[in-house]
A and B are shown apart, each in its own frame.
Chain A
Amino acid sequence: MTQDVEMKDHPTPSHSVSSAVPTTLQHLKEIALLIETGSYSKEVRRIARAVRLTIALRKKLTAPVISSFLDHSLGQGSEAYGRLSVYLPKDDEHDMEVDTATSGSQAPAKHVLPELEIYCYLLVLLYLIDQKRYDEAKACSSASIVRLKNLNRRTIDVLASRLYFYYSYSYELTGNLAEIRGNLLALHRIATLRHDELSQETLLNLLLRNYLHYNLYDQAEKLRSKAPRFEAHSNQQFSRYLFYLGKIRTIQLEYTDAKESLLQAARKAPIAARGFRIQCNKWAIIVRLLLGEIPERTIFMQKGMEKALRPYFELTNAVRIGDLELFKSVAEKFASTFNTDRTHNLIVRLRHNVIRTGLRNISISYSRISLADVAKKLRLDSSNPVADAESIVAKAIRDGAIDATLDHAKGCMLSKETGDIYSTNEPQAAFNSRIAFCLNMHNEAVRALRFPPNTHKEKESAEKRRERQQQEQELAKHIAEEDDDDF
């Protein structure tokens, strides 16, 4: 299921349908039909397709189109119609696009499918958000959530998870995410009890986002580690989850795991979600720097990201050279960017890595150097640079960053000869880890190739099915007869 849904950081990738021949209303009616059949035959897949088609229509949604669609599907007299039509501007002049022939001839008290009702909520909500009427969007989404709590049908799950997303999104746009945290937690609990995995996935991400919005990393990690985990249903939600996970791990200094999550998130994200991928890349770059790696130049040259990643490129450069002065000036120059990205505290942590890289460069170039010179080269500005340099070098030696010894009496650092790495088991270990990675990748790829359940039955036409059933019946009869013969 690869539905093309926008990521939060980059809303509305436009892919409007070019042909305007079938009007938007007709499209919507087709979608409604799809939902109806999906609902009757209990096929979640159809509903998912309906949502996908709706997103494609998003650009064309106008008030008259939606109101006549509501008219068509809910009927003027119904309760839901009354609740939803408030959000649409009253407009007597019908748009040219609107197909007036079908509306009006509806039976007033028609039974409305819950799926269709929820779908109408989604439509109105999309419209309100696109019109930037956020307060009304908040009211509308809250109303839809209240309605959703009373419905327990698997066919609604897809629609529900989308509604949850826009519910949180409308509150984020108005800056009161904290208000809905309790509500989201309650919804997550309901979804867990109902085994509604899609909604669980969405809600867990929304909650993580909610916590991280206020830098509540501790709470986010506690929730994440205790929430039930299962195989991801939606690629988008999974890459979001990985991104949040990467962020949490970065803050808690688990850089190796963080790097893995962030890189995977960046790879899994759809191409259209440029903003999201930029965010992933920014964090991944910092984490790699903190790990003492230098990201390749190609990362900064990815299409459409050069400008956004520029500050991080210069930062990487400073770390690579190991120049404290340059590092400081870069950090100051782009302070506002780093503050809005909320990576400032991480950049502060990097100072230590700059010193390490500088020290490593020195230990490679010199076999013997006085500590005063080390301090001068590292540009340590403190009251007692030599003593500082000595303890910094000592710590670097203990952490295994450099291979050297100190001579306290002479005040100098002696670098050791680097041994022949090929005489150790190192290459073997590296080779092994690479092979393991490749094998793992292959296994995951095979697993990802699985087919959605019940697809083979789909191909079987109604006629064939009847035929097969007949055959089975005959066979059963035959066997029964044979059984009778035996006795």
Chain B
Amino acid sequence: MDPKLLEVSQVFDRFKAALARNDFDTCTNLLSQLKVMLTEFKSLPPLFEKTPNAVHELTLGRDVYEHAVILSVKMEDQDAFERDFFQLKPYYTDARELIPPSPQECPILGLNLLRLLVQNRIAEFHTELELLSPSAMENPCIQHAVELEQSFMEGAYNRVLSARQSVPHETFVYFMDLLAKTVRDEIAGCSEKAYDYLSISDARQTLLFSSDNQLLEYIKEEHPEWEIKNGFVFFQKAKESAPSKEIPSLQLINQTLSYARELERIV
């Protein structure tokens, strides 16, 4: 075996051991070392040179970045996740013909979808979705994310929350927790518009709090305009959209003048 390759795989073994221990400081140190070392291999993206060890090097490179992604999830660092994922992506797309597929591929793609959902980047979510093959769409990890997005768009928030119990992969839990927060804000926004008032216990249930105090704190922080009276939460909403009494004269004058100008050009 190539000495350089051997060295990298040794460091990688230490990294994996540290990751298993959840020793994040050692992990980040080793990871930055690994990334520098990987740059020496010419067979890795973006060069894809056909060196004799190409398959080994590519597989190793992919493993390193897969673990980097998992590390970033464990450290709950979304920016690092995004960076590592984009470094990993060429291995899945451009190196598809060169190395055998990885068993981690679908969970990681699913994680990425979930991240986009949590960050409410729906356009990118769909762009990523288009890249998946029909067989990948059947994978439970991907399906999980796809169904979540659907329920989310429909407004069936109960389904989003119950999906937490059925996560297909342990790393999904972190994002599901983040998603729960997003969902709560969504529900609060919807309830504000949909209900005139709710009893405190009902509000607690709809907003998914375990105690009344949590609810009251949440209202104080996020929605100070809501009013709490006689055990009810009143959503203050000015019900405007009343028929307009006055004529928006300035706007009308502007419009009419522009019509006149255009007509003059035609005639």
Which A residues are within 8 Å of any B CB, using their own CB?
215-218, 251-254, 339, 345, 348-349, 351-352, 355, 380, 382-384, 387-388, 391-398, 404-409, 419-420, 423-425, 428, 432, 435, 439, 442
The answer to whether B155 touches A392 (Cβ under 8 A) is yes
Is B40 interfacial (CB 8 A cutoff)?
no
Contacts of A423 in B (CB 8 A): 243-244
* Residue in B124, B190, B202, B243 whose Cβ sees the most chain A Cβ within 10 Å: B190
**B1 at interface by CB-CB < 8 Å:** no
Partner of A391, one of B127, B150, B156, B255: B156
Whether the pair A391, B241 counts as a contact (CB closer than 8 A) is no
Question: Which residues of chain B in 133-156 are interfacial with respect to chain A, using CB atoms and an 8 Å cutoff?
Answer: 134, 146, 150, 153-156
Select B126's contact among A345, A351, A394, A396, beta carbons within 8 Å: A345
- In whole angstroms, what is the CA distance A471 to B146 when docked? 78
Chain B residues 156-197 with CB under 8 Å of chain A are: 156-159, 162, 186-187, 189-196
CA distance A424 to B245 in the complex (A): 8
CB distance from A332 to the nearest CB of B (A): 15
Cα distance, A159 to B67, chains bound together (Å): 52
A388 touches B156 (CB 8 A): yes
Interface check B224, CB cutoff 8 A: no
Choose one: A215, A382, A387, A394; the contact of B194 (CB below 8 Å): A394
- CB-nearest residue of chain B relative to A248? B127
Q: Is B262 an interface residue when CB atoms closer than 8 A count as contact? A: yes
Once the chains bind, are B131 and A216 in contact (CB under 8 Å)? yes
Inter-subunit contact A352/B131 (CB<8 Å) = no
Also in contact, A435 and B259, with CB within 8 A (given A252-B127, A339-B134, A351-B150): yes
Known: A215-B131, A355-B154, A391-B157. A409 touches B202 (CB 8 A): yes
Residues of B within 8 A of A252 (CB): 123, 126-127
Tell me, yes or no, whether B122 is within 8 Å of chain A by CB. yes
For the side of the interface on B, what is the size category?
Answer: 35 or more
Residue of B nearest to A351 (CB): B150
Q: Once the chains are docked, how many angstroms separate the CA of A409 from the CA of B231?
A: 13
A393-B194, A395-B190, A425-B244 are contacts. A251–B131 as well, Cβ < 8 Å? no
A383, A394, A423 interface centre (most CB from chain B within 10 Å)? A394
A253 CA to B243 CA in the complex, in Å?
33
Please name all residues of chain A whose beta carbon is closer than 8 Å to the beta carbon of B190 when the two chains form the complex. Answer: 391, 394-395, 397-398
A339 to B133, alpha carbons, bound, how many Å?
11
- Give bound CA distance, A387 to B193, whole Å: 17
Write 21 A-B pairs (CB below 8 A) sorted by A numbering: A251-B123, A251-B130, A253-B126, A254-B123, A348-B150, A351-B154, A383-B162, A391-B187, A392-B154, A393-B155, A394-B194, A394-B195, A397-B190, A398-B190, A398-B192, A406-B195, A408-B202, A408-B206, A423-B243, A425-B248, A435-B259
Cβ of B129 within 8 Å of any chain A Cβ, yes or no, is: yes
Residues of A within 8 A of B252 (CB): 428
Q: Assess the A432–B158 pair: CB atoms within 8 A.
A: no
CB <8 Å contact, B243 and A424 = yes
Q: CA separation between A387 and B206, bound complex, in Å?
A: 9
